[in-house]
Structure 1
Amino acid sequence: MLSLRRTAMIGGALSAMASILVGAFVLLSSVEENVLERFDRALSDRHTQLVVALTYTAANPDQLDELLFDPRYGTPFSGRYWQVSGPDGALFASASTLDAELMEPPGRPDRLTLRSIRGPEGEPIRSLFQRVTLEDGTEWGVTVAESLAALAAERQQTRRSLLLAFVLVALLGLAGAIVQTTTILRPLEKLRRDVSHRWEKDEDLTVHDYPEEVAPLVADINHLLERNREIIARARRQAADLAHALKTPTAILRNELSTQAAHGHDMEASLDALDRVDAQLGRSLARMRASNSGASASLRTDLTNSVDRFTRLFQGMAARDGKEMTTYCAPDLAVRMDQQDIEEVMGNMLDNALKWCDSRIALSAHPKAGGIEILIEDDGPGIPEGSEREALRSGGRLDSSKPGTGLGLAIAIDLLQAYGAELFLEKSEHLGGLCVRIQIPGQAKNAQRRRLAQAA
């Protein structure tokens, strides 16, 4: 579907073009009629001059040339002619006819008669004829004519001038349509920017900042923002209440199983099953929390602060195991994720890296391609080539020699997907072990947010 801006511009341009074409046709027709009328009026003036000259030279018509001073009358086939037929049928004509005869209309009418005929050498001409009666009672046929080439040239010049004028008018009309469309749609563009900004700041829009036609929409958006905040808060409270309610029963079960194990009973399978139950519950609760957090673009976390806290925590843990941790984070780095979610992802990945590394792990975060990239690397054995997909599979474990449920990576992937982020497993170029690359976009992907919200 076309955007409003494009639809308005196309509609305005087509309307302007249609109006200009109709106006051009009407104006051109009117101008051409005026050109023909002016052409005929000039013929009538020359006819009057010829009649006046004839009244003075009726006794000697050969002297007409001396009273008609237009030089074109003396140039052969110049396109301008006159002819007088006497009472006895004798013809007197301008030298421009070169002895060619201009045809008089049938019946030799006594009123002015305009016709388009063939002149000397078959040239198209427009003639004006009238049979006049002088004071002595003699009747004369008076004809003046002009080549239609002159009329065609004048019309062509007029069309050319009008074309240039209408091209300019069309350009002005198109520019006007663009300016008008931009002006009309400016409140909607402002609304788009403000909605994006207010989503980030989690603030309501000011209804009075918009035209009255847009104000109801702004009020609805404010209502939607408020409903969204309430739904997110309620969902997160419910997830937190559920987590709290489940912690006590599982803690009691774990204590009972530990007590039985202390009395010599084999409780390893039961404890392992309980660990998996805890992990699955943790994953489900994390997904519930992420599906609601990811739907809100107002969440922002200071990643620099989170990296600093993880640095202090894991450097101490690494030092106790005789290992080393290095970190780097670009200054003033923030992500559009809930703090608990991004820290759970980083914590799981750092815990895995510390568990499997030989002596070193590294954490780095920096802007990249309109988003943020987080790298967690180690110098451990890494993942066999071609096994990355199995490792990313829910609960997949490639090596069970170390404790764990295998759900930490799955939980991290679920949390990241809620925000349109991605996780990749690669070989570390710097340390030689595993590299977990996390890419977080600058703007959350709406399609993924909707999909996860529906799944929840």
Structure 2
Amino acid sequence: MLSLRQRALLGGLATGALSVGVGTLIVFSYINTRVLEQFDQTLRDRHTQLVVGLSATTHNPEALRELIFDPAYGTPYSGRYWQVTDGNGATFTSASLFDETISEPVRVSEEAIVWNTTGPESEAVRSAYQRITFEDGTEWGVTVAESRRELISERRAAQNNLLPVFGLVGLIGVAGSLLLMSAIIGPLKKLRADVVHRWDKGDDLIPEDYPEEVSPLVEDLNKLLHRNREIVSGSRRQAADLAHALKTPTAILRNELAILSDAGADIEPADDALNRIDAQLKRSLARMRASNTAELTHSRTDLTNSVNRLSRLFSVMAEREGKSLTTDCEDGIQVRMDTQDIEEVIGNLLDNALKWCRTTIHIAAKRVEGGIEICIEDDGQGIPEDALDGVVRSGGRLDTSVSGTGLGLAICVDLMNAYGGKLKLEKSADLGGLACRVLISS
């Protein structure tokens, strides 16, 4: 379906083209009519001139050739002719007719008749004819004619003079269509930008700031914004409440397991099951929080600050184990993700890297084409290519010698999917272990 912008543009162009086209046809029709009227009036004037000349030479019609001083009448087939016919059928013509004649209309009237006929060599001419009776009692058929080439030439000249004008009118019409489109789309663009702004700041849209046709939509959007804020706030609050409610029973169970362990009981299966429950709950809460936040928020997180803060935290943890963490992060990077969610992704990946590396971890964050890339590498044993898909599935663990639930990467994948991002696992080209690349669209 065409966008409103495309519809407005195409509609404006179509309307402008139709208006210019219809206007051109109307004006050209008017010009053709006016040129024909002027052409016919000139014929009548020449006809009157010939009648006046004939009135003085009815006794000697041959003298008309010397009396009518128009060079075109003396040039054979020049396109301008005259002809007179007496009551006896004798015909006298201008030299331009040479030895031919012009046909006369069958029906005549007291007024001069202007009509289309043929001239010498079947040339299309426009002729003015009238039968005149003079005071001496003689009756004459008087004809003047002009080649229709002249009429066509005059019409074309008038039309060519107006074509640039219509071209200019067309350009003005296109410019008007673009301005009209901007005027129509402008309030909708403003509304779109204001919705993003108001969502971030929690303000309401003001219906009076928009045209009256858009005001009802603005009021409905206000209601929707309120509802969405309530959904996001409620979901995150419920997730936080649930997590808090589960901490106490989990702590009690761990204390009981610790007591049993001190008494010499084998608690490894129970401890492992409890760890998995904790991880599954953590994953479910993270998915719940992200699914109700990612599409409804336009907040941005200072990624540079988050990476540097987590790097300091994990550097301390790495030093305790005789390992090192290096950081390379560009300044001023921001991402369209909730701070808690992006930090949970980075934290899980750093935690995995710290578990599996031998001595070195490196984290880098930079701008790339189309978004932001975070890469966390280690010098551990890495993951075989045929097992990369398995480690992101729930509980997918390749090595059980290190404590964990295997859900860290799965949680990262869930969070990135919620925000339209990607998590890619590959071999580290620099350190030789695993490289986790997080791609987030900007």
Pairwise TM-score range, normalised by the shorter structure:
over 0.9
Amino acid at match of 1:308: N
Shift of 1:115: 2.8
Alignment partner of 1:141: what SS? strand
Task: Specify the alignment match of 2:123 in structure 1.
Answer: 123
- Equivalents in 2 of 1:106, 1:222: separation in Å? 84
Which runs of no fewer than 5 residues in structure 2 stay unpaired?
none
- The yes-or-no answer on 1:204 pairing with 2:204 is yes
Amino acid at match of 1:218: V
Question: What are the superposed Cα offsets for residues 152-209 of structure 1, whole Å, 9 maximum, x if unpaired?
Answer: 2223333434444433323322222222122122111222222233334443333333
- Equivalents in 1 of 2:417, 2:109: separation in Å? 97
Q: Check 1:87–1:303 CA distance in 2 against 1; reply closer, same or farther (3 A cut).
A: closer
Task: Specify the alignment match of 1:147 in structure 2.
Answer: 147
Task: Specify the alignment match of 2:71 in structure 1.
Answer: 71
- The yes-or-no answer on 1:13 pairing with 2:13 is yes
Amino acid at match of 2:90: A
Amino acid at match of 1:211: P
Alignment partner of 1:386: what SS? helix
Alignment partner of 2:385: what SS? coil
Deviates more, 1:283-292 or 1:208-217: 208-217
- Equivalents in 2 of 1:112, 1:334: separation in Å? 90
TM-score normalized by the length of structure 2: 0.95
Q: Check 1:107–1:404 CA distance in 2 against 1; reply closer, same or farther (3 A cut).
A: closer
Asked whether the 8 Å contact 1:201–1:298 carries over to 2, the reply is no
Alignment partner of 1:57: what SS? coil
- Equivalents in 2 of 1:162, 1:10: separation in Å? 26
Shift of 1:287: 1.1
Deviates more, 1:349-358 or 1:251-260: 251-260
- Equivalents in 2 of 1:76, 1:261: separation in Å? 132
- Equivalents in 2 of 1:434, 1:323: separation in Å? 16
Amino acid at match of 2:64: L
Amino acid at match of 1:23: G
- The yes-or-no answer on 1:409 pairing with 2:397 is no
Task: Specify the alignment match of 1:368 in structure 2.
Answer: 368
- Equivalents in 1 of 2:208, 2:374: separation in Å? 43
Task: Specify the alignment match of 2:345 in structure 1.
Answer: 345
Question: What are the superposed Cα offsets for residues 21-80 of structure 1, whole Å, 9 maximum, x if unpaired?
Answer: 333333323322222222211111101001111112222222212221111000011011
Amino acid at match of 2:314: F
Asked whether the 8 Å contact 1:373–1:440 carries over to 2, the reply is yes
Task: Specify the alignment match of 2:84 in structure 1.
Answer: 84
- The yes-or-no answer on 1:278 pairing with 2:287 is no
Shift of 1:257: 2.0
Alignment partner of 2:56: what SS? helix
- Equivalents in 2 of 1:7, 1:103: separation in Å? 59
Task: Specify the alignment match of 1:326 in structure 2.
Answer: 326
Where do residues 172-251 of structure 1 align in structure 2 (5 Å cutoff)?
Answer: 172-251=172-251
Deviates more, 1:15-24 or 1:369-378: 15-24
Shift of 1:110: 4.4
Asked whether the 8 Å contact 2:85–2:92 carries over to 1, the reply is yes
Asked whether the 8 Å contact 2:46–2:144 carries over to 1, the reply is yes
Q: Check 1:109–1:239 CA distance in 2 against 1; reply closer, same or farther (3 A cut).
A: closer
Q: Check 1:107–1:279 CA distance in 2 against 1; reply closer, same or farther (3 A cut).
A: closer
Amino acid at match of 1:178: L
Amino acid at match of 1:157: A
Asked whether the 8 Å contact 2:392–2:407 carries over to 1, the reply is no
Amino acid at match of 1:8: A
Task: Specify the alignment match of 1:449 in structure 2.
Answer: none
Asked whether the 8 Å contact 1:325–1:362 carries over to 2, the reply is yes
Task: Specify the alignment match of 2:137 in structure 1.
Answer: 137
Deviates more, 1:430-439 or 1:215-224: 215-224
Task: Specify the alignment match of 1:398 in structure 2.
Answer: 398
Shift of 1:423: 0.8
Pairwise CA RMSD of aligned residues? 1.9
Task: Specify the alignment match of 1:420 in structure 2.
Answer: 420
- Equivalents in 1 of 2:308, 2:122: separation in Å? 101
Asked whether the 8 Å contact 1:202–1:298 carries over to 2, the reply is no
TM-score normalized by the length of structure 1: 0.92
Task: Specify the alignment match of 1:294 in structure 2.
Answer: 294
- Equivalents in 2 of 1:3, 1:420: separation in Å? 24
- Equivalents in 1 of 2:172, 2:300: separation in Å? 47
Q: Check 1:230–1:105 CA distance in 2 against 1; reply closer, same or farther (3 A cut).
A: closer
Asked whether the 8 Å contact 2:380–2:433 carries over to 1, the reply is yes
Shift of 1:405: 0.7
Q: Check 1:368–1:87 CA distance in 2 against 1; reply closer, same or farther (3 A cut).
A: same
Task: Specify the alignment match of 1:305 in structure 2.
Answer: 305
Asked whether the 8 Å contact 1:363–1:375 carries over to 2, the reply is yes
Question: What are the superposed Cα offsets for residues 381-421 of structure 1, whole Å, 9 maximum, x if unpaired?
Answer: 01112211111222100111111111111112112222112
Alignment partner of 2:64: what SS? helix
Task: Specify the alignment match of 1:96 in structure 2.
Answer: 96
Runs (4+) off by over 6 Å: none
- Equivalents in 2 of 1:108, 1:305: separation in Å? 103
Where do residues 26-65 of structure 1 align in structure 2 (5 Å cutoff)?
Answer: 26-65=26-65
Question: What are the superposed Cα offsets for residues 231-252 of structure 1, whole Å, 9 maximum, x if unpaired?
Answer: 1111111111111111111221
Amino acid at match of 2:239: A
- Equivalents in 1 of 2:10, 2:403: separation in Å? 66
Identity across the alignment (%): 57
Q: Check 1:111–1:210 CA distance in 2 against 1; reply closer, same or farther (3 A cut).
A: closer
Alignment partner of 1:325: what SS? strand
Alignment partner of 2:292: what SS? helix
Asked whether the 8 Å contact 1:13–1:173 carries over to 2, the reply is yes
- Equivalents in 2 of 1:286, 1:278: separation in Å? 12
